[in-house]
Chain A
Amino acid sequence: MLDQRLYTVSHPPYWHNGTSITAKSYHIMLAALPAVVMGIWQYGIPALRVLAFSVSWAMIWEYLLNRIMKRSVSIGDGNAAVVGLLLGMLLPATTPWYAVIVGTFVAMLIGKHMYGGIGCNPLNPSLVALAILLLSWKALLDFDVALRNYELGFAMTYPLTVMKYFGPKAASEYSLWGMFLGRQSGAIGATFGLGLVIGGLYLILRGFIRWEISGSFLAGVFLTAFFFNLGDPEKYGAPLFHLVTGYTLISAFFLATEDSSSPVNTLPMVIYGLGGGALTVLIRNVGSFVDGAVFAILLMNIANPLLDKIRPRALGKGIEHA
């Protein structure tokens, strides 16, 4: 019996197209690099510190929570690193160490593992963490306070704050193109629009994220801002201003597109994106927060299971025998 040849038996198909969750995670991190490198170049070592701390603590929490919950260690799939990196990109460069540790803990426990780990989270883990940090330590995430000691050669006031409290006239000192190229204050990885767009287009072309979500999110922001602007140009900013400021671009390409918390069917993806974009501008223009992207996406995450009920009829379903 010892020298008997046994074949490996498995179920068809015997081919696979070669994709994996690990590859997907690494490509998302690769796509985020242009924006990340710009952030480090602008804010220096403190920015690198926040990012490194965030990625490593997200992975440490992942490992510890895997162990505590007696699940197989899933640190190798790269998802924890992605969540950590995205959270780091959303924070100002001066975020203190304890906020990063708490943030990553919240992201991993409340954002992900409480529901059963990867794929089971109803909300985007990075955004859950950011929302809780925003509500807990408002001053730490106020970019005008956090970045007051930086002088980078452009206006260091947060463009969305200026727009919200001083109106489009005051905000007209910002050049749209300059902001798109990263000449604006803000979170480490969210200000370099061009880098985010390049990364996002890479992910779309490679098939890692869906263009329906990114495209409709941007359309939602643009259209809503356009109508507000049309109604009262003295009070509300132009649509292009909303597209290049705050968390808009990182949301469209990296946050709203998170797999588990976004729909999979075409029409639901479009509604999800449009809704997220519209809510972002609504909160910015009418709500009490300076930037609305965080809560807009979280709200649409909640609507996701309901949206995904809009789906095509399956083959042979609901047909009686002819």
Chain B
Amino acid sequence: MIKKAFFGFGKPKLRYSIVGNYEKESLEDIPLPSIAYLSVRDTFERVDELAIRLGDRVRTGQKLKLTVKSLHPFVSPVTGTIKSMLPQTRYSGEPSTSVAIEVMEDVWDEEFRMTAKTPSTRVVQDFLGSLPGQLELGSLLGLQPPLKTFVINGMDQDLLVTTNQIALKMGADHFRRGAEILKSIGGAERILLLVSSELAPEVQNSGLEVRVMDPAYPSMLPRLVMKSVFSKEVPAGKECETMGVGFINAEAVVSLGKAFAQFQVPVHKLFTVIRKNGSLVHGRARIGTPVKDVLLALQIGTAHGDGVVLGGPMTGRALLSDETPVLYDTDAVMVQDREEIVRSSDTHCVNCGECVRACPAHIPVNMLIRFLENGMWEDAVNRYDLLSCVECGLCSYVCPARIPLFQHIMLGKHEFARTKRMEEAHA
């Protein structure tokens, strides 16, 4: 954990981890799990709607649908028998289904091999809608009107995490191929690659427009990239896609290139594991591998009360159970000792202004929190810029009163969106 410097009256100086001379040997392959879990975007109400059933055999790379009418196909990353299908709520509150598959030895499905001779948006959306590195590549490519610009993130979005950089470095050839495919099927006028100065010489011949970024946290968050690279501000409450810019992780581009080079749907996810002592190790696991199996394979012990987080220290999501799987967007697994977990408090804001100085979006967090604590979402949005938040977590990081500011902000955004949806439904 990075503490405040002894002398310090400016902003926190957190920096992204940068990959220098990376040794390939330190990549640990996690063995196939006995049960893999998938998170599928659809829900079902009646059993007769289902397109897959308990006990069905599925093959690796096989295109599946949860229900007959489903619009969201998914690909099985393993071969095995479907063991359970349970309703699940995602972090954002979106209902989904957790599908458990009892894993057997790999048998590859042939459909992708047959159709993947020529890359097309259709093939990508059918088989590669979710790619290791990007949960929603399919919907990004399917936007109407098509995106004008793609930004490939060759760095990572959270501290300590170096997954994208490793993927880019290890899969330079696949990356080049992936970028070409993206160019040909994406319809974008411009593709921009953001890298650290250390990695810049290696991507010179990628044929892409390369931009070297300052590794000061949180410069890699999409809204801040829009400001620093394109000198455009995304209107509060709107997404970068509405400005015609799509953000893609370098790992997803590598996966894309790999898919069409090997004629196999990529099913392995690369991730950074952050141990209790802060040391890093990189792992590669089959999509759907429970975190439990990852920790077991890496011999990382956990105890009751410890924290296990999917993602990095500033924006990751804490897990209640280690049955949670590694999915397409799991860039990191962080284990935190129970003694190290930050306890928040219910103290009032003391108005010291640390959060205001740390906020990259210039939000008056000291005022905002007073409205959020009282559930005044409308005022928080209209008067104190709730929707300008870029979700970096620096406000909570610096708060001496240890108010869970970031949590209040996310709750406020969620509740505001919910009331707005309800108002629209009843209008």
A6 within 8 A of B: yes
A319 touches B235 (CB 8 A): yes
B373-417 contacts to A, CB under 8 A, are 385, 387-388, 390, 393-394, 396-402, 404, 406-407, 410
With A and B bound together, what is the CA distance between A23 and B239 in angstroms?
A: 40
Interface segment out of the listed B75-83, B255-263, B306-314: B306-314
Smallest CB gap from B401: residue in A: A21
Cβ-neighbour of B406 out of A13, A206, A211 (below 8 A): A13
Interface residues on B, range: 35 or more
1-59 of chain A: CB within 8 A of chain B: 5-21, 23-24
Report whether over half of chain A's contact residues are helix, strand or loop; otherwise say mixed.
loop
The CA of A321 and the CA of B238, in the complex, are separated in Å by 8
In the docked arrangement, what's the CA distance between A120 and B347, Å?
Answer: 11
With both chains docked as a complex, state the minimum distance between the C-beta of A169 and any C-beta of chain B, in angstroms. 42
In whole angstroms, how far apart are the Cα atoms of A206 and B402 in the complex?
19
Complex Cα distance, B336 from A10, in Å, reads 12
Residues of A within 8 A of B349 (CB): 119
Output the residue of A13, A265, A315 with the most chain B CB within 10 A. A13
Find B313's partner among A15, A120, A264 (CB 8 Å cutoff): A15
Cβ distance A137 to chain B, nearest Cβ, rounded Å: 31
- Known A8-B305, A16-B397: A321·B406 in contact at CB below 8 Å: no
Contact check, A9 vs B406: say whether CB atoms are below 8 A apart: no
Residues of A within 8 A of B309 (CB): 12, 14
CB distance from A28 to the nearest CB of B (A): 12
Least distance between B246 CB and chain A CB atoms (Å):
16
**Chain B residues near A313 (CB-CB < 8 A):** 362
Residue of A nearest to B367 (CB): A308
Asked whether B427 is an interface residue with its Cβ less than 8 Å from the other chain, the reply is no
A161 within 8 A of B: no
Contact A119 to B347, CB < 8 A, known contacts A7-B321, A18-B4, A312-B362: yes
- Decide if A19 touches B4 in the complex (CB within 8 Å): yes
Q: Is A118 an interface residue (CB 8 A)?
A: yes
Question: Does chain A have a CB within 8 A of B229?
Answer: no
Which of A8, A14, A16, A259 contacts B352 (CB under 8 A)? A259
CB distance from B8 to the nearest CB of A (A): 5
Within 8 A of A (CB), among B285-321: 302-309, 311, 313-321
Interface residues of B in 9-36 (CB under 8 A from A): 9-10, 12
- Give the chain B neighbours of A19 by CB distance below 8 A: 4, 354, 398-400
Pair B314/A315 contact, Cβ less than 8 Å: no
Binds A, one of B133-141, B191-199, B338-346: B338-346
**Partner of B353 from A20, A264, A314 at Cβ < 8 Å:** A264
Contact of A7 among B9, B319, B362, B390 (CB under 8 A): B319
Bits for A302-322, please: 1 = Cβ < 8 Å to B, else 0: 000000100111111101111
**A15 neighbours in B (Cβ, 8 Å):** 1-2, 159, 313-314, 342, 397
Provide the bound-state CA to CA distance between A14 and B396, in Å: 9
Q: Which residues of B contact A6 (CB under 8 A)?
A: 304-305, 320-321
Residues in A with CB closer than 8 Å to B123 are none
Inter-subunit contact B393/A13 (CB<8 Å)? yes
- Tell yes or no: A260 within 8 A of B by CB: yes
Is B315 a contact of A13 with CB atoms below 8 Å? yes
Give the complex CA separation of A259 and B369 in angstroms: 16
CB of A12 within 8 A of CB of B364, answer: no
Output the least CB separation between B319 and chain A (Å): 6
Q: Say whether, besides A116-B348, A264-B352, A10 and B318 are in contact (CB < 8 Å).
A: yes
By DSSP majority rule, is chain B's interface helix, strand, loop, or mixed?
loop
Q: How far is the CA of A322 from the CA of B311 in the complex (A)?
A: 33
Nearest to B309 among chain A residues (CB) is A14
Q: What is the distance, in angstroms, from B219's C-beta to the closest C-beta of chain A?
A: 13
A316 to chain B, nearest CB (A): 4
Enumerate chain B residues within 8 angstroms of A264, measured Cβ to Cβ.
351-353, 356-357, 364, 366
A210 at the interface (CB under 8 A from B): yes
Q: Judge whether A7 and B350 touch: CB under 8 Å.
A: no
In the bound complex, do residue B404 and residue A322 qualify as a contact, i.e. CB atoms below 8 Å apart? no
Nearest A residue (CB) for B305? A8
Known: A15-B342, A18-B3, A119-B347. A207 touches B407 (CB 8 A): no
Residue interface bits A107-119, CB-to-B below 8 A is 1, else 0: 0000000001111
A205 within 8 Å of B (CB atoms): yes
Is B236 among interface residues, defined by CB-CB distance under 8 A? yes
- Identify the closest chain A residue to B386 (Cβ): A314
User: Measured between alpha carbons, how far is A312 from B360 in the docked complex, in Å?
Assistant: 11
Q: How far is the CB of A305 from chain B (nearest CB, A)?
A: 9
A204 in the interface (beta carbon within 8 A): yes
Please measure, in the bound complex, the distance between the C-alpha atom of A259 and the C-alpha atom of B242, giving whole angstroms.
Answer: 40
Contact: A8 with B306, CB < 8 Å? yes
Q: Are B314 and A314 in contact (CB under 8 A)?
A: no
B239: min CB distance to chain A, Å: 11
| Chain A 197-240 interface residues, beta-carbon cutoff 8 Å to B | 204-207, 210-211
The residues of A with any CB-CB pair to B shorter than 8 Å are 5-21, 23-24, 72, 74, 77, 116-120, 204-207, 210-211, 259-265, 308, 311-317, 319-322
Some 30 contacts from A to B, beta carbons below 8 A apart, are A5-B302, A7-B308, A8-B305, A9-B320, A11-B318, A11-B404, A11-B406, A12-B313, A12-B318, A13-B394, A14-B314, A14-B334, A14-B341, A14-B342, A19-B4, A24-B352, A72-B346, A116-B348, A119-B347, A206-B8, A210-B353, A263-B353, A264-B366, A315-B227, A315-B360, A315-B390, A316-B361, A317-B385, A317-B388, A319-B233
Interface set of B (CB-CB < 8 Å, partner A) = 1-4, 6-10, 12, 159, 223, 227, 232-238, 242-243, 302-309, 311, 313-322, 334, 336, 338, 341-342, 344, 346-354, 356-357, 360-364, 366-367, 385, 387-388, 390, 393-394, 396-402, 404, 406-407, 410
Instruction: Please provide the 6 A-B residue pairs with the shortest distance between their CB atoms, ordered closest to farther.
Output: A264-B353, A11-B407, A314-B385, A119-B348, A315-B361, A13-B393
| Extra pairs beyond A14-B316, A205-B9 (19, CB < 8 Å) | A6-B304, A7-B322, A11-B396, A12-B314, A13-B313, A15-B314, A16-B1, A77-B347, A116-B348, A118-B347, A204-B9, A205-B7, A264-B356, A308-B367, A312-B362, A313-B362, A316-B388, A320-B235, A322-B243
